[in-house]
């Protein structure tokens, strides 16, 4: 009932040594495919040439002789004239004499055990009798069954351990997936909360100013008080800005949905990226000036011959606008710099700010849907942090996705408290390539994109 291979081997070795009064005994288990030793228990032997010994066993098997290999019988037997047989028998004898082995007996193959028992000489130098060999075969049969059972038990134990490790690993992965899913749900919940405020705030302002102007118009104030027209123009400016803000937010939502569904198509054409960058800077110049920020466009010396990029003009403007908008929004002092360059295949744009920066642990998450750095406002008196208002967590998701859809790359380098640099590439127009014609409709896409483009042209 013993299930320990080592204990079985020690017991067998001791029995054989005592019964036959042997000098040396050994048990070896091996892999028959690559003759690798899996286990050995030897007493008296050095067995320096184990691989040679296994080769001897293989030679003997190929010669088709009795499985039991006795040195004395080999020496007494007829070698014959076959050169290959003579050479192999010579090698067998040489190896056994070198190691001091008088007999090699295979373990029982019926229990799928690849192994041998090697026996040295008796101390009195007597040869093995027929009865000795019968006893040896009985011992081998019992040892084979016992070791086969022990090895099988060990394999079952190992399988159970492996299964346990795999279950633990899969459980850990499952917990991680659940945590990621919970985080995603939380981000979506926060996004809904944010979007509610983002969508409601501009419309509330528009409604209030509209009601105010409507009341004034009913009272015919415009006619009676010519001097306050600038005040009313201010009201109209506020309404206009909030309409643009609302349209921009809805455009981001629409773009994110199309990108998620794989339904966003690009209308590529040769585009002047310098013009697109200058338009983007102009669109945020007033906001930057109001915050006391500088905006610099660093141009390389050969801008006069700067090659055009192969892009969707509206989407390229969206990429540039999002990056500049983010840079201005999260910069309190200093400013924003844009640098453009190109190689033989791509135009490269770098947008650098001196803003809040992003923690190293968060950089890899930037560009994920609904992800925002510094998501929560924490206070000493608050047990639950508040969701920070402003931003949907979709702008950079759309930006990253649009760049990759164009066949470009985008990356972020940032240091907390120092600022950030977003770098993206867009393919250049290739000479000799038939370009995709733009859509017949000047304003392809949804109604909000049309409104945005019309406003830009005006």
Predicted pLDDT of residue 378:
45
Q: What angle do CA 137, 140, 141 make, to 5 degrees?
A: 85
Consecutive H or E run containing 251: helix 229-261
Pair (297, 360) in one structural domain: yes
Predicted pLDDT of residue 79:
54
Pair (396, 368) in one structural domain: yes
Q: Is residue 175 part of a domain?
A: no
212, 240, 258: which is the final residue of a domain?
Answer: 258
CA 229 to chain CA mean position, Å: 61
128, 160, 192: which is the final residue of a domain?
Answer: 160
CATH number for the domain that contains residue 60: 3.30.450.40
Buried b (16+ CB within 10 A) or exposed e, 8-45: bbeebbeebbeebebbbbbbbbbeeeeeeeeebbbbeb
Pair (277, 222) in one structural domain: no
Whole-number Cα distances in Å, 249 to 10, 96, 287: 80, 87, 17
Torsions phi, psi of 257, nearest 5? -65, -45
Q: Is residue 350 part of a domain?
A: yes
Q: Is residue 166 part of a domain?
A: no
Q: Is residue 168 part of a domain?
A: no
Pair (364, 411) in one structural domain: yes
Pair (121, 242) in one structural domain: no
Domain count, the chain: 3
- Give the 3-state secondary structure of residue 175: helix
209, 236, 258: which is the final residue of a domain?
Answer: 258
Q: What is the pTM of this model?
A: 0.46
Spatial contact of 6 and 151, defined as CB atoms under 8 Å apart: no
Distance CA 1, CA 8 (A): 10
Q: Which ranges of the chain have pLDDT less than 50? A: 375-380, 382, 384-390, 434-458
Pair (332, 196) in one structural domain: no
Distance CA 211, CA 291 (A): 30
Q: Is residue 113 part of a domain?
A: yes
Q: Is residue 254 part of a domain?
A: yes
Pair (75, 153) in one structural domain: yes
Buried b (16+ CB within 10 A) or exposed e, 310-332: bbbbbbbbbbbbbbbbbbbbbbe
> Which of 126, 118, 63, 116 has its CA nearest to residue 91?
63
Tokens representing 413? 């380098």
Predicted pLDDT of residue 453:
44
Predicted pLDDT of residue 370:
59
Q: Is residue 299 part of a domain?
A: yes
Pair (267, 408) in one structural domain: yes
Whole-number Cα distances in Å, 364 to 55, 167, 359, 414: 57, 29, 10, 11
CATH number for the domain that contains residue 294: 3.30.565.10
CATH number for the domain that contains residue 203: 1.10.287.130
Pair (221, 270) in one structural domain: no
Predicted pLDDT of residue 456:
44
Predicted pLDDT of residue 65:
62
Pair (66, 83) in one structural domain: yes
Enclosing domain of residue 239: 180-258
Spatial contact of 455 and 244, defined as CB atoms under 8 Å apart: yes
Q: Is residue 364 part of a domain?
A: yes
Pair (382, 407) in one structural domain: yes
Pair (81, 109) in one structural domain: yes
């Amino acid at each position: 009932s013993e299930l320990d291979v080592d204990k079985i081997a020690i017991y067998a070795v001791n029995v054989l040594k005592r019964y036959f009064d042997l000098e040396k005994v050994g048990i070896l288990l091996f892999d028959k495919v690559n003759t690798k030793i899996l286990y050995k228990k030897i007493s008296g032997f050095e067995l320096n040439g184990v691989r040679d010994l296994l080769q001897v066993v293989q030679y003997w098997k190929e010669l088709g002789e009795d499985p039991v290999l006795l040195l004395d019988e080999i020496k007494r037997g007829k070698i014959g004239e076959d050169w290959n047989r003579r050479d192999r028998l010579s090698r067998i004898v040489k190896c056994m004499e070198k190691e001091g082995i008088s007999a090699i007996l295979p373990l029982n193959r019926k229990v799928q055990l690849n192994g041998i028992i090697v026996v040295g000489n008796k101390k009195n130098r007597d040869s093995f009798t027929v009865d000795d060999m019968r006893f040896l075969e009985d011992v081998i049969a019992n040892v084979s069954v016992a070791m086969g059972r022990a090895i099988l038990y060990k394999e079952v134990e190992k399988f159970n351990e492996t299964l346990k490790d795999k279950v633990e690993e899969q459980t850990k992965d499952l917990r991680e997936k659940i945590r990621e899913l919970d985080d995603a749900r939380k981000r979506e919940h926060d996004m809904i909360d944010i979007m509610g405020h983002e969508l409601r705030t501009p419309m509330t302002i528009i409604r209030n100013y509209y009601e105010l102007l409507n009341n004034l118009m009913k009272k015919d104030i415009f006619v009676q008080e010519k001097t306050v027209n600038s005040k009313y123009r201010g009201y109209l400016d506020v309404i206009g800005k909030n309409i643009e803000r609302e349209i921009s937010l809805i455009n981001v939502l629409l773009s994110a949905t199309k990108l998620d569904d794989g339904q966003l198509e690009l209308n590529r054409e040769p585009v002047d990226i310098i013009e697109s960058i200058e338009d983007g800077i102009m669109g945020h110049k007033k906001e930057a000036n109001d915050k006391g920020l500088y905006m610099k466009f660093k141009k390389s010396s050969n801008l006069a011959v700067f090659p055009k990029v192969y892009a969707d003009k509206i989407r390229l403007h969206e990429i540039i606008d999002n990056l500049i908008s983010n840079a201005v929004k999260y910069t309190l002092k200093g400013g924003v710099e844009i640098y453009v360059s190109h190689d033989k295949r791509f135009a490269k744009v770098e947008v650098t700010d001196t803003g809040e920066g992003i923690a190293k642990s968060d950089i890899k998450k930037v560009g994920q849907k609904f992800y925002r750095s510094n998501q929560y406002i924490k206070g000493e008196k608050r047990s639950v942090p508040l969701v920070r208002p402003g931003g949907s967590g979709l702008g950079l998701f759309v930006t990253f996705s649009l760049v990759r859809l164009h066949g470009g790359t985008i990356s972020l380098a940032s240091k907390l408290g120092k600022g950030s640099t977003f770098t993206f590439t867009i393919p250049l127009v290739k000479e000799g390539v038939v370009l995709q014609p733009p859509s017949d409709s000047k304003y392809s896409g949804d109604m909000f994109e049309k409104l945005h483009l019309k406003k830009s042209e005006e």
